[in-house]
Each structure stands twice: as C-alpha cells, then as structure tokens.
Amino acid sequence: MLGDEIYKRLLSTYTLDPEDFIAPRLQGISLFEFVVAVVLSQNTSDKNAWRAYTNLKSKLGCISPESIRRTRVEELAELIKVAGMHRERAHKLRELAEIFSKSDVEKRLHDMIERGDIARARKALLDLPGVGYKTTDVVLLMYYHVPTFPVDTHIARITRRLGYVKSSNYEEIRSFWMKNTTPTNYLPLHLLLIVHGRVTCKARKPLCDRCAIKDLCSVGRGTLA
C-alpha cells in the first residue's frame, strides 16, 4: 500500500527521537493528565508544550482534576505561558477539570472502547472543551491504542502536496492514510510525516531535491516549490 511504501522510505531517511514529541513520552499517567498534555501541544512546538507540561507537574505535584481546580486561573496561565495562548488554555484546563471531577470520563471511554464503539468514544472526546479532531485521535491512538490516524498541519500539508487528497478536510486526509496504510504503521508513519514536514517538506520552500518520496508527489514531480 502507498502509505506503507512512504513509511518504509521515511523510516530509512529519518531517526525518530521520542523527545521530539510530547505524546509518545507520556507513560503510565491518567487520561486527564494525558489530555491536558496534548491540549498544551496544540498550535505550538512539542518542545514548548513539554516545558509547559513539566511546569505544571513541578508546581502542582500531580496533574489531576483536583489540583487544577485548586489552582487559580492566573497561576495556571503563568505556568503554561511558554506554550502560548496561555489564558485561553488555562480556562480550558479548568473546564476539563470540572468535567472530569463530576463524571468518570475515563471509565466511560474505556467501556465504549471495550465494546468496540469507537465512533461514540471519538464523539465523547470531541465534546470535551479544548479537544479537537487531532487531539481526539492522538488520545485514541497513543493512550488507548485504537487504530486511527491523527492529522496535524504538517501531515495535512504533505498530503495535499502529494496530490492524493485535494481538500484540507481533516476527515478526508485521515481516511486517506487509514485506507492506504497497515494499521500497525499508523503511529510511526504519523510521527515520520511530522518529521518530514519539519525537516524537508516545509511550509515555505520545501526541499524537494532531497525528498525521499519525491517521485510519489505531484509537487516533487513538477517544478512547483
């Protein structure tokens, strides 16, 4: 399949370093803490998201609904300032804490996934404040090990340039990769595409001359840059 061929080529081109990403580094924590960390990674670098996350962890001791609710919004905002949009994010964290403290979100999601009701679990995650499509799919893939394909800005850009999906629609791009990739390759390909977008298929002036998948790409085969 096309996705597997792209995976093979990118794997021989790049070395994945877990420290370049926030979500793969999160192990043995609650769903709430995982969601908080991924929300912090939205629209910022993983490096800054990790700094914001560790600031919270160091100050609060543990990241839980209770510890977030006990902390003033202004203090939360200061702790996560490095990730950007800190005031808005601080309010979202408080909203998440309220919801998680009033209902057992983790158990409900676990039960849905155990029953195979992935669509319902996905909707339940999307209904959480500050949680969009990418965050939802990151949680499903990396926390619950559900086969899905998160799409970030790098992956969306690369997919459009490849020419197999013309639109910017999240679901169309996600569907393309899921249909054309072996499920066991979803996570590593997701990460490799992000690295590819950061290093080679840049938003401005992509380095097509050194691209490992140039012959598979409508931009790479032409003269566009």
Kindly state the DSSP code that residue 23 receives in the 8-state scheme.
G
| Sign of the alpha-carbon torsion through 5, 157, 19, 30 | negative
Are 177 and 160 in contact, with CB atoms under 8 Å apart? no
What's the whole-model pTM score?
0.92
Q: What is the largest CA-CA distance in the chain?
A: 57
- Provide the residue-wise pLDDT of the chain in tens; the chain has 225 residues: 999 999 999 999 999 988 889 888 888 999 999 999 999 999 898 999 999 999 999 999 899 999 999 999 999 999 999 999 899 999 999 999 999 999 899 999 999 999 999 999 999 999 999 999 999 999 999 999 999 999 999 999 999 999 999 899 999 999 999 999 999 999 999 999 999 999 999 999 999 999 999 999 998 787 444
- Reported as half-sphere exposure (CB side, CA atoms, 13 A), residue 193 has a value of 29
